[in-house]
Amino acid sequence: MTQYAVELRDVVKRFPNPGGGEVNAVNHATLQINHGEFFSLLGPSGCGKTTSLRMVAGFEWPTEGEILIDEKPMGRTPPFQRPVNTVFQSYALFQHMTISQNVAFGLEMENASKAEIQRRVEAALEMVQLAGMGARKPRQLSGGQQQRIALARALVKRPAVLLLDEPLGALDLKLRKEMQLELKALQEHVGITFIYVTHDQEEALTMSDRIAVMDKGNVLQIGTPVEIYERPNCRFVADFIGETNFLLGRVKDFDANNVIVVLEGSDREVVGIPLGELRPGQDVVASVRPEKIRIFDNATLKFGVPANQPNIFPIRILNTTYIGSDTRVLVDLGLGVQLKVWEQNHLSTLDALAYYTPGQELWMTIRPENILILPRDN
Ligand SMILES: Nc1ncnc2c1ncn2[C@@H]1O[C@H](COP(=O)(O)OP(=O)(O)OP(=O)(O)O)[C@@H](O)[C@H]1O
Ligand SMILES: [Mg+2]
């Protein structure tokens, strides 16, 4: 087996801009995608996800750089000669054909025998859990079922790589969540490499083995969902994936693996872990996820928190929003700094005293590894 299923080597794609000049849709992207991997391209609208996917499919050619599939440089190989298949957001099913005919469509172009086609169509429908629906027309199926047909139609050709461009975008939230899990299970079952485009960070975290986060044509970070969420390499990634608090500050000193940062407009210090090269005096931003902050009252603070633990601050509760599984609290750290804190409701109680009230004066602690210190300018 070759080392990589798909590789982008320093790929640039520029389009002529109708209004003059050029659009840099993809900017020196380098990616290696492993065989059997569920790999996602994640980023906001216009960041170059679809363009990247279309270059792998062969619908577009790179302006610079190279795309390799199974280690073969693709050059200007047309789409139908590449071992890939694409599933789009709009299912693009033929309305006048039955489900079976839709799925068989690609195979008939391949000159497969009738018996062979029938066997493979049935197997593909089985794979997407729609066995027995072959005689229906697309409009007699729900949105989720139609998307599964589009998947079956792509899978029936046994591509080495399946490209999916926001395939669940048209479905409602509940169905989308169901389909995410189904699609992931299907991918594991068939073992095909998936390249999956989405702008939905939760979807990418749920499904992917690895994620490439893109912005303005640039690949900013490539990593597993845990790496991307827990150790974002820049402010954009920290902000785009999940929710986070940003505190502005300046590097004061270094201490073992930690960095000490003085918050802007105060002499208050936080201890966190440095991400990237930092030097004393540098302007930085501290990124803290809301679920990683703990609120304590005086009693707990006295007995429950080690005396030498850094990052203990007095706070005031500004407001609280109870959302069932957790409570979202906005706290005031003084200095005009407000923080979002999410607390899981692990006690089932109607006792009002178990919940915070606005104006309450309490304490908060954050473990140093939960404060990521990033250079401010990236
Ligand atoms: N054929 C084209 N001609 C000119 N500009 C284009 C063309 N195709 C894409 N672009 C531009 O390239 C950039 C990247 O577009 P792309 O479709 O790859 O974004 P995307 O990440 O898929 O966004 P979305 O989430 O909205 O689908 C955008 O600025 C877009 O306007
Ligand atoms: Mg797109």
The domain limits of the chain are: 6-238, 243-375
Band of pLDDT at residue 304, cut at 50, 70 and 90: low
Among the listed residues 155, 204, 50, the one whose alpha carbon sits nearest the alpha carbon of residue 147 = 155
**CATH class of segment(s) 243-375:** mainly beta
What pLDDT does 178 receive?
A: 86
Task: Tell me whether residue 257 is exposed, middle or buried, using C-beta atoms within 10 angstroms of its C-beta: 0 to 12, 13 to 18, 19 or more.
Answer: exposed
Segment 265-286 shows an average pLDDT of 91
Residue in 12, 15, 24, 61 to alter for ligand 1 test, most ligand atoms within 8 A of Cβ: 15
Taking the centre of ligand 1 as the mean of its atom positions, its distance from the CA of residue 90, in whole angstroms, is: 17
**Does residue 51 line the site of ligand 1, with CB under 6 A?**
yes
Among the listed residues 217, 240, 236, 203, the one whose alpha carbon sits nearest the alpha carbon of residue 46 = 217
What pLDDT does 266 receive?
A: 80
Residue 355 has pLDDT above 60, yes or no: yes
Band of pLDDT at residue 45, cut at 50, 70 and 90: very high
Q: What is the number of the ligand closest to the CA of 19?
A: 1
Residues 41 and 47: their CA atoms lie apart, in Å, by 10
What pLDDT does 378 receive?
A: 59
- State which ligand 1 atom lies nearest to the alpha carbon of 54: 18
pLDDT cut 90: percent of the chain above it:
65
Segment 320-349 shows an average pLDDT of 92
Residue 125 has pLDDT above 80, yes or no: yes
Which three-class secondary structure state does DSSP give residue 292? helix
Nearest CA to ligand 1 atom 22: 50
Residues 124 and 98: their CA atoms lie apart, in Å, by 15
Residues 93 and 70: their CA atoms lie apart, in Å, by 29
Taking the centre of ligand 1 as the mean of its atom positions, its distance from the CA of residue 216, in whole angstroms, is: 10
Band of pLDDT at residue 255, cut at 50, 70 and 90: confident
Among the listed residues 306, 362, 351, the one whose alpha carbon sits nearest the alpha carbon of residue 329 = 362
**Fold match between domain 6-238 and domain 243-375:** no
Residue 106 has pLDDT above 90, yes or no: no
Q: What is the number of the ligand closest to the CA of 212?
A: 1
Beta bridge partners of 222: 212
The number of residues making up the chain comes to 378
Taking the centre of ligand 2 as the mean of its atom positions, its distance from the CA of residue 195, in whole angstroms, is: 13
Residues 164 and 280: their CA atoms lie apart, in Å, by 45
Arithmetic mean of pLDDT over the chain: 91
Q: What is the number of the ligand closest to the CA of 43?
A: 1
What pLDDT does 65 receive?
A: 98
Q: Are strands 193-198 and 38-42 parallel, antiparallel or unpaired?
A: parallel
Residue in 24, 42, 47, 214 to alter for ligand 1 test, most ligand atoms within 8 A of Cβ: 47
Nearest CA to ligand 1 atom 26: 45
What pLDDT does 306 receive?
A: 62
**Does residue 169 line the site of ligand 1, with CB under 6 A?**
no
Band of pLDDT at residue 89, cut at 50, 70 and 90: confident
Highest mean pLDDT, choosing among 84-93, 232-241, 294-303: 232-241
Helices 99-108 and 114-127: angle between axes, nearest 10 degrees: 120
pLDDT cut 70: percent of the chain above it:
97
Residue 326 has pLDDT above 70, yes or no: yes
**Does residue 42 line the site of ligand 1, with CB under 6 A?**
no
- State which ligand 1 atom lies nearest to the alpha carbon of 41: 21
What pLDDT does 229 receive?
A: 97
DSSP 64-96: EEEEEETTEE-TT--GGGSSEEEE-SS----TT
Residue 160 has pLDDT above 60, yes or no: yes
Taking only the tens place, the pLDDT of each residue in 16-38 is 988 889 999 999 999 999 999 99
Mention every residue, 6+ apart, whose C-beta is less than 8 A from residue 87: 150, 151, 154, 162, 163, 164, 165, 167
Taking only the tens place, the pLDDT of each residue in 183-207 is 899 899 889 999 999 999 999 999 9
What pLDDT does 301 receive?
A: 56
With residue 121 as reference, give the H or E element that holds it. Answer: helix 114-127
CATH 1.10.3720.10 fits 6-238, yes or no: no
Mention every residue, 6+ apart, whose C-beta is less than 8 A from residue 141: 99, 133, 149
What pLDDT does 300 receive?
A: 63
What pLDDT does 175 receive?
A: 83
Residues 249 and 266: their CA atoms lie apart, in Å, by 9
DSSP code at position 155: H
**Does residue 48 line the site of ligand 1, with CB under 6 A?**
yes
Band of pLDDT at residue 267, cut at 50, 70 and 90: confident
Among the listed residues 286, 303, 290, the one whose alpha carbon sits nearest the alpha carbon of residue 343 = 290
